[in-house]
Amino acid sequence: MAKKQSFADKANKKKHSETCPVCGTEIAHIKLMKAENRDGNWRFTNKPVGVCKCNEAEVYG
């Protein structure tokens, strides 16, 4: 039988995180969604982006 896992065990699990080599803050991975007009039709593009203090103004801006 498998071991029962409580919510506290799940919450305390280590999460994989990256730090920015330039500014040293943690990089948050988000999905950037843009609306683009191509040939008269609107299309949405999804792109995964890593955001830290360095490029926060460019991404959210």
How confident is the prediction along the chain (61 residues), in pLDDT tens digits per residue? 778 888 888 888 777 778 999 999 999 999 999 999 999 999 999 999 999 999 999 998 8
Stated as kind and residue range, the H or E segment containing 41 is strand 41-51
pTM for the full model? 0.59
What does the pLDDT read at residue 8?
Answer: 87
What does the pLDDT read at residue 51?
Answer: 94
What does the pLDDT read at residue 12?
Answer: 82
What does the pLDDT read at residue 5?
Answer: 82
Residue 55 burial (10 A CB sphere; 0-12, 13-18, 19+): middle
